[in-house]
Amino acid sequence: MKRSIIRLENVWKSYVMGKVRVDALRGINLDVSLGEFIAIRGPSGSGKSTAMNLIGCLDYPTSGTVLLDGNDISRLRESELAQVRGRKIGFVFQQFNLIPSLSAVENVELPMVFQNVPKKKRIKRAMDLLSSVGLGERLNHRPRELSGGQQQRVSIARALANDPEVILADEPTGNLDSATGKSIMEMLISLNKEGKTIILVTHDENLARMAGRVEYIMDGKNYRRLK
C-alpha cells in the first residue's frame, strides 16, 4: 500500500468577522496517497479555495489535523513549514504568478533559492526543466514575452524545481484556450505517470474526469463522487 502524503482529519477552518463566525470548512476528511491523481471540485463559496490552502499547507486549520508526509503542520513553526512545503509540494496557479522582472530561468530558480541550492546547480536544473517542457529556446525571455501557454509551462517547470512529490494545480487551464489547456493537462497526466502526486482543483467537470478520483466540496464538507 502506498503511503499517505497528505491527510486531513476532521478539519475545520473558521473566520471571525466582527461578531460573526463563518465556518468555511466543517469537518473535512481527505487522504491522498503517493502517486494518486485526484480532482477537487466545488461551486463558488463551497470552501474549495480554503480546502486548497490547507491541502497545500499554506494555512493552519482552526481544529482537526493536517498531516504532510506524516508531519502535523500545526506543530511546525511557519519557517519550518515553509521549508517542508517547499520540498514536498509544487504549485501551479491559474494566474501563473510569475515575477515579471525575472526571466524564465530566474523564475524557475526561485524555489531553489529558498532551499539553499547552490547557484550553479540551480541554474542548470532550471535550464534542464525548461527544456523538458519545450522552452529550451525561451530561457531568457520574461513573462511578457511569452504566450499564456508558455507562461504556464514555466510555472510547471518552477513547480518541479525542488523535485516535489506533490503538484497542486489550481485551475491550471483557466486562462488558456482549449488546445493549450489540453497540452497542459497532458503534461500533468505525464507527470503523474512518472510518479508525481497530482491534486487538481477545478470547476471543469471534463478536466476532473481525467483524474483517478474526484472529491466534491459543498457547504464546507467533502464527498467522494463517482466519475
Overall domain count for the chain: 1
The answer to whether the CB of 124 falls within 8 A of the CB of 132 is no
Tell me the CATH number at 22.
Answer: 3.40.50.300
* pLDDT tens track for 144-169: 999 999 999 999 999 999 999 999 99
**CA 85, CA 55: separation in Å to the nearest integer?**
11
Q: Which domain holds residue 15?
A: 4-225
Record the cell numbers describing residue 190, joined without a space. Answer: 505525464
The answer to whether the CB of 176 falls within 8 A of the CB of 153 is no
Cα distances (Å, whole numbers) of residue 28 to 3, 52, 87, 152: 20, 12, 25, 30
Digits of tens for pLDDT over the chain (227 positions)? 678 999 999 999 999 988 999 999 999 999 999 999 999 998 888 888 899 999 999 999 999 999 999 999 999 998 899 999 999 999 999 899 999 999 999 999 999 999 999 999 999 999 999 999 999 999 999 999 999 999 999 999 999 999 999 999 999 998 899 999 999 999 999 999 999 999 999 988 889 999 999 999 999 998 876 54
**CA 182, CA 59: separation in Å to the nearest integer?**
31
